[in-house]
């Protein structure tokens, strides 16, 4: 299998064995540049393990991962972040007692990784302030700018985490269950947000909520028992009898 021009992330024969148990078993994945790609499947299918392999939080037992044509199999999460592939909550830099805008500003400052002296330049600080305000607007948090992170409702807190991740300006963003534990209104808002931020970058998300997946994904890969069961758009995979069976037989939820 060779990476086509439109492929940004590719996994070949990705496998993770835990003491004889294959949580991820020979998975081939090809993520198209600019797409929103969802990884779904019943509980225990291997989604989180796969996510951790792709983001280099776990070493694979076997297989190869390439990002923008470069072999990243042996790289660290920090290495791949520098290449432009960032996992949401990787920096998990939400400081509870700082305001939303301060949190985003800190993420921007980190991204620049500059020295202390640098921070004292007013011009630079103003630049960060306006960029932080833009990012907050992007995730719909303008009216919460001066609210302490700890005071934000759950869904808004997740939106703030996404904003701090976007501060790194990743070319590719990986999200693990971005709507988990949210109220239906928050789910809708975050789904719309993912759609919006996906307009000019690639997104791979693990998602349990099928209605979210159905409305925003370009491509869906269904995992079951560590293997790829089906792949395609929502129309196609949702009608696939093996997928229906896996969700019913595998215990969805
Ligand atoms: N560190 C681990 N050690 C042993 N088994 C694990 C470990 N992590 C996950 N598993 C097993 O691998 C399977 C897939 O888990 P996971 O990737 O979390 O699935 P999903 O996210 O789709 O629910 C499960 O049966 C789980 O118990
Ligand atoms: Mg999981």
Q: 76-80, 94-98, 119-123: which range is least confident on average?
A: 119-123
Q: What is the dihedral of CA 213, 33, 85, 158, to 10 degrees?
A: -30
pLDDT grade for 227, boundaries at 50, 70 and 90: very high
d(CA 99, CA 170): 23
Judge if the beta carbon of residue 45 lies within 6 A of ligand 1: yes
* R_g over Cα of the chain: 19
Are the beta carbons of 14 and 27 closer than 8 angstroms?
Answer: yes
Kindly tell me if the per-residue pLDDT of 113 is higher than 70: no
Tokens of 109: 């400052």
Q: What is the DSSP letter of 106?
A: H
pLDDT grade for 1, boundaries at 50, 70 and 90: very low
Q: Where are the alpha helices (DSSP H) in the chain?
A: 47-54, 77-83, 100-112, 116-119, 122-138, 154-166, 184-197, 210-216, 234-239, 241-249
Tokens of 159: 């939106």
Nearest CA to ligand 1 atom 11: 23
| Distance (Å) from CA 15 to ligand 1 centroid | 12
pLDDT grade for 120, boundaries at 50, 70 and 90: low
pLDDT grade for 252, boundaries at 50, 70 and 90: very low
| Distance (Å) from CA 25 to ligand 1 centroid | 12
By C-alpha distance, which of 195, 173, 214, 188 is closest to 84?
173
> What are the structural domain ranges in the chain?
1-90+172-253, 92-167
By C-alpha distance, which of 103, 81, 102 is closest to 90?
81
Nearest CA to ligand 1 atom 5: 18
Q: 12-16, 85-89, 214-218: which range is least confident on average?
A: 85-89
pLDDT grade for 253, boundaries at 50, 70 and 90: very low
Tokens of 78: 């920090």
The predicted structure's pLDDT at residue 190: 85
The predicted structure's pLDDT at residue 114: 54
Kindly tell me if the per-residue pLDDT of 122 is higher than 90: no
What CA–CA distances, in Å, run from 30 to 35, 54, 136, 159, 187?
Answer: 11, 12, 31, 27, 27
CATH topology of domain 1-90+172-253: Rossmann fold (3.40.50)
Structure confidence by residue, pLDDT tens digits, 18-74: 999 999 999 999 999 999 999 999 989 999 999 999 999 999 999 999 999 999 999
Structure confidence by residue, pLDDT tens digits, 160-206: 988 998 888 899 999 988 888 888 888 888 899 899 989 989 999 99
The predicted structure's pLDDT at residue 116: 53
Kindly tell me if the per-residue pLDDT of 2 is higher than 80: no
The predicted structure's pLDDT at residue 3: 47
Structure confidence by residue, pLDDT tens digits, 127-155: 889 999 999 998 889 999 999 999 998 88
Judge if the beta carbon of residue 47 lies within 6 A of ligand 1: yes
Kindly tell me if the per-residue pLDDT of 89 is higher than 70: no
Are the beta carbons of 179 and 193 closer than 8 angstroms?
Answer: no
pTM of the model: 0.88
What CA–CA distances, in Å, run from 195 to 5, 16, 138, 202, 207?
Answer: 23, 31, 11, 11, 14
Tell the burial category of 121 from Cβ atoms under 10 Å away from its Cβ (0-12, 13-18, 19+). Answer: exposed
User: Candidates 25, 43, 49: which one to mutate for ligand 1, based on the most atoms within 8 Å of Cβ?
Assistant: 49
The predicted structure's pLDDT at residue 62: 98
């Amino acid at each position: 299998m060779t990476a086509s021009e439109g492929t940004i992330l590719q996994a070949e024969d990705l496998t993770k064995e835990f003491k004889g148990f294959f949580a991820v078993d020979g998975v081939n994945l090809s993520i198209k540049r600019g797409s929103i790609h969802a990884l779904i499947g019943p509980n225990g299918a291997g989604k989180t393990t796969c996510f951790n392999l792709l983001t280099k939080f776990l070493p694979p037992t076997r297989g190869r991962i390439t990002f923008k044509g470069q072999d990243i199999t042996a790289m660290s999460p920090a290495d791949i972040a520098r290449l432009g592939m960032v996992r949401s909550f990787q920096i998990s830099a939400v400081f509870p007692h700082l305001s939303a805008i301060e949190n985003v500003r800190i993420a921007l400052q980190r991204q620049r990784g500059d020295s202390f002296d640098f921070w004292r330049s007013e011009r630079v600080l103003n630049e960060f302030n306006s960029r932080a305000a833009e990012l907050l607007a992007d995730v719909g948090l303008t009216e919460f700018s001066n609210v302490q992170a700890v005071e934000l409702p759950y869904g808004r807190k997740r939106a703030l985490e996404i904003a701090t991740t976007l501060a790194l300006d990743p070319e590719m963003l990986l999200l693990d269950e971005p709507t988990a534990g949210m109220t239906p209104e928050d789910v809708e808002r975050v789904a719309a947000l993912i759609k919006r931020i996906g307009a000019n970058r690639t997104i791979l998300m693990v998602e349990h909520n099928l209605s979210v997946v159905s409305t925003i994904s370009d491509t869906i890969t269904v995992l079951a028992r560590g293997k790829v069961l089906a792949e395609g758009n929502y129309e196609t995979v949702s009608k696939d009898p093996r997928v229906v069976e896996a969700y019913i037989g595998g215990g969805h939820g």
